[in-house]
Amino acid sequence: MTIFLQSLGSQVVKAVTKPFIVPNGNETTWPEIATKKFNANAKADYTMFQVLNDEDIARIIHCNSAFEIWSHLIVTHEGTSQVKRPKINFLHSQYENFSINED
């Protein structure tokens, strides 16, 4: 997915990797940079909603920006550091206890 988002432009990648807050006021009064960020965020949102399955969409439907969606997907599919640490410890202990049977 990262490569596809990169193909849409650097602003779209920034929308996914940096938090976005909708500017105050009417859209016609936004500075040009805010409008570009808003458009990039909308493009990233749309892209992610198109490629995700229904189960993932149900998990991220409440998110307000592409950054929130991406962060939520990372935690959902990879786990937090608190979840990863016990997994790594478990695999490490299995590796240390590995032995070849005489049979």
Q: 20-44 pLDDT, tens per residue?
A: 888 888 888 899 999 999 999 999 9
- Segment (H or E) for 35: helix 32-51
In a domain, 101, yes or no: no
> What is the phi/psi pair of residue 48, to 5°?
-65, -35
In a domain, 37, yes or no: yes
pTM reported for the whole predicted model: 0.70
Q: Give the pLDDT mean for 77-86.
A: 75
In a domain, 48, yes or no: yes
In a domain, 103, yes or no: no
The whole domain housing 58 covers 2-96
In a domain, 102, yes or no: no
Tokens at 7, concatenated: 């193909």
Distance (Å, whole) CA 77 – CA 90:
19
Which pLDDT score is estimated for 95? Answer: 84
Mean pLDDT over each residue of the chain, to the nearest integer? 87
Number of domains in the chain: 1
Of 80, 55, 60, 59, which is closest to residue 16 (Cα–Cα)?
60
